[in-house]
A and B are shown apart, each in its own frame.
Chain A
Amino acid sequence: MALIIHAGSTNKNAMKALIVAEYTGVKVELVKDFQMGVSNKTPEFLSLNPIGKVPVLETPDGSVFESNAIARYVARLTDNTLFGTSLIDYGRIEQWIDFATLEIDSNILRWFIPRIGFAVYLPPAEEAAISSLKRALAALNTHLASNTYLVGHSVTLADIIMTCNLVLGFSRIMTKSFTSEFPHVERYFWTMVNQPNFLKIVGEVKQADSVPPVQSAKKPSENKEPVNPTVKDAPKEEAKKEVKEQVAKPEAAEEVVEAPKPKAKNPLDLLPSSKMVLDDWKRLYSNTKTNFREVAIKGFWDMYDPEGYSLWFCDYKYNEENTVSFVTMNKVGGFLQRMDLARKYAFGKMLIIGSEPPFKVKGLWLFRGKEIPKFILDECYDMELYEWKQVDITDEAQKERVNQMIEDYEPFEGESLLDAKCFK
């Protein structure tokens, strides 16, 4: 019976154990239909790993998390030389595994993750990360000047883990001009990734041409997987990222790459015409400076057309994640950025509620049509992170809640507002 690894197919940390399995003949498979941010949030998954991160290995005797631990466990299932042939070999294999993790991987991630927008970008922190990475690569370069493999004269677990960590660096952020300072590391890396057992799991690696440009404050993300380090298919534009909450800790992020779609006619344009003009409401909302309730709110209900439009409350499903103020605000900001495709057909208010963490995120949305437009549900992945409930406008309490959300009324349901963002 094969062992199962819970992770996405492009997760370089899962590749460690998969490569070990190629060397040792053990059957290890990736779980089917793994969805980052969804599959690892279920109670069942959290019982395997209470911190909810990936990869996780499922064995008949129980689960193991932490990618290096998984790789070690798989390596010990059979007799082999991945741990060396002597005790001092073993000690040194462990030393290079830890070095690969703490000196190489952590610094690559400290550099990379903020640049792709999954952590706050801080120039002094980046400078320090690059400096630490260079120091580590220099030490590694010195060692590899007189060694083909990290330990002994054949591939060991140290080489597998080191190489997987370097794959992320070489393919996403370390350009040739950066790595040319470490020629022995370059020689080592290209030799390793071309070994058949590596090639089978990792695929062809192309070195990054440039450092990713700094993104503006982005989509938050929580459980992350390492980005696709290989270029198995032709290079594609990054069309979609599956992310939840912005964490400054260097964790790898999963990106789902899609081909650009051809422009289709929007079905909402085909609805019967309505007397309500969304832009009129947006103008009224924006221009009303005083007597907001008497002028803007009243004006809203005067122009509202329940046949042509619908109102919805949304409630973020994972408020327990909202432990950091600016991360939560960025998360909501990211949601509104991704709603840009709906701008002609929607108006929204998102409230971040509470004076201390965890903050609650709730919103009010006005959509063209009597349902949440399907193209929004399809295109904007944040939608499934919220519970949606249609507003019953015959219920005065619900109408009042709509009013309060439009005007940023405080205290909202007994609590102060950290922030209110408007989509218009």
Chain B
Amino acid sequence: MALIIHAGSTNKNAMKALIVAEYTGVKVELVKDFQMGVSNKTPEFLSLNPIGKVPVLETPDGSVFESNAIARYVARLTDNTLFGASLIDYGRIEQWIDFATLEIDSNILRWFIPRIGFAVYLPPAEEAAISSLKRALAALNTHLASNTYLVGHSVTLADIIMTCNLVLGFSRIMTKSFTSEFPHVERYFWTMVNQPNFLKIVGEVKQAESVPPVQSAKKPSETKEPVKPTVKDAPKEEAKKEVKEQVAKPEAAEEVVEAPKPKAKNPLDLLPSSKMVLDDWKRLYSNTKTNFREVAIKGLSFVFPSFKKLISV
């Protein structure tokens, strides 16, 4: 019986466990019909994860949340070398997993999330985030100058988690001119995402050409999923965001990416014509400065005859 991950299909955090499963042969599937902001708000979901975030793994023995924990759990289901071949290997794999999370991912998100409008944009905070990210990438670059993999001589869980975190950065906000300062990180990243087990889950990655422009204060959002990091299909415009409440904490936001729809005739244009002209009402509403009730509300009843029954003017 396959393990089920509750997350959207573009969630880079869910990809961690899915890539592990490719390496180890365990069956892990994404839940069907997951709707961000809806599926993770049900009482059933909250009993799996009281904070209501994704991804969550469902197993026959119970649920696990936190993407790194899920990836570790899946990795321990079978004998494999994803945790290294010695105790010191293990310690270092855990160290790079934590580094990938606290130094790389958190700073990428601190930079990215306000720019796509899901947290308040504050220039000094952004400057500090970029500085911290550069410091972390410089340290990673130093390590990768003499190492092909983070630990040992083959892919471990540290590489899977680090790469998934970098996918978000490379595809959405770190341009070539930014990453060219860290050539060993670049080499590492492109090697990793082209490994067959990564390619199968992540798909083709194209590096961002520009930093997202700062959005004005946006729709709030509550439970979020990481943005779609891959370009499995042709690049699409972000046509729709499902969001609820604005949180400043750097959490990844889910964006539902839809293809631009061909312009169709709006069926409302095909209705029989009406003597009410909506723009007339809007103009009346906006221009009425005094005696609002007498003028605008009364006027509404002329513009919208059946409204007259609802108000006493």
Interface residues of chain A, those whose CB is within 8 Å of chain B, are 49-52, 57, 59, 61-62, 64-66, 68-70, 72-73, 76-77, 86-88, 90-92, 94-95, 97-99, 101-103, 106-107, 110, 119-120, 122, 124-125, 127-129, 131-132, 135-136, 138-140, 142-143, 247-249, 323-327
Contact = CB atoms under 8 A, between A and B. Distances in A.
- Classify the secondary structure of B's interface with A: helix
A120 B97 CA distance: 28
Interface of B: 49-52, 57, 59, 61-62, 64-66, 68-70, 72-73, 76-77, 86-88, 90-92, 94-95, 97-99, 101-103, 106-107, 110, 119-120, 122, 124-125, 127-129, 131-132, 134-136, 138-140, 142-143, 247-249
A139 B51 contact: yes
Given A120-B125, A248-B129, A249-B128, A125 B68 contact: no
Given A120-B124, A124-B248, A128-B249, A327 B131 contact: yes
Nearest to A50: B139
- Classify the secondary structure of A's interface with B: helix
Given A66-B94, A88-B64, A139-B51, A128 B99 contact: no
A325 B130 CA distance: 12
A139 B136 CA distance: 31
Given A51-B136, A98-B69, A102-B66, A69 B131 contact: no
Contacts of B52: 139
Contact of A98 (B68, B119, B128): B68
Given A50-B143, A125-B125, A91 B135 contact: no
10 contacts: A51-B136, A65-B95, A103-B51, A106-B102, A125-B125, A125-B248, A128-B247, A128-B248, A132-B247, A248-B127
A68 B247 contact: no
Nearest to B106: A106
Contacts of B92: 62, 64, 69
Contact of A95 (B69, B134, B135): B69
Contacts of A327: 128, 131
A106 B105 CA distance: 13
Contact of A73 (B57, B65, B91, B107): B91
A76 B90 contact: yes
B129 A249 contact: yes
A279 B42 CA distance: 72
Contacts of B68: 94, 98
A368 B68 CA distance: 59
Nearest to B140: A50
Given A88-B59, A91-B72, A128-B248, 8 more contacts: A57-B91, A61-B88, A76-B91, A87-B73, A88-B62, A125-B248, A132-B249, A249-B132
Contacts of A129: 248-249
Contacts, number: 173
Contacts of A122: 122, 124-125
Contacts of A136: 51
A52 B99 CA distance: 12
Nearest to B126: A248
B61 A88 contact: yes
B73 A73 contact: no
The 10 closest A-B pairs by CB, nearest first: A128-B248, A248-B128, A91-B73, A73-B91, A94-B69, A69-B94, A139-B51, A51-B139, A66-B98, A98-B66
B61 A69 contact: no
B88 A69 contact: no
A73 B128 CA distance: 31
Contacts of A86: 61
B102 A101 contact: yes
A39 to B, nearest CB: 18
A72 B73 contact: no
A73 B94 contact: yes
Nearest to B119: A128
Nearest to A246: B128
Contact of B128 (A72, A120, A135): A120
A72 B51 contact: no
Given A50-B143, A124-B122, A125-B248, A90 B76 contact: yes
Question: Which of A77, A92, A106 is packed against the most chain B CB atoms within 10 Å?
Answer: A92
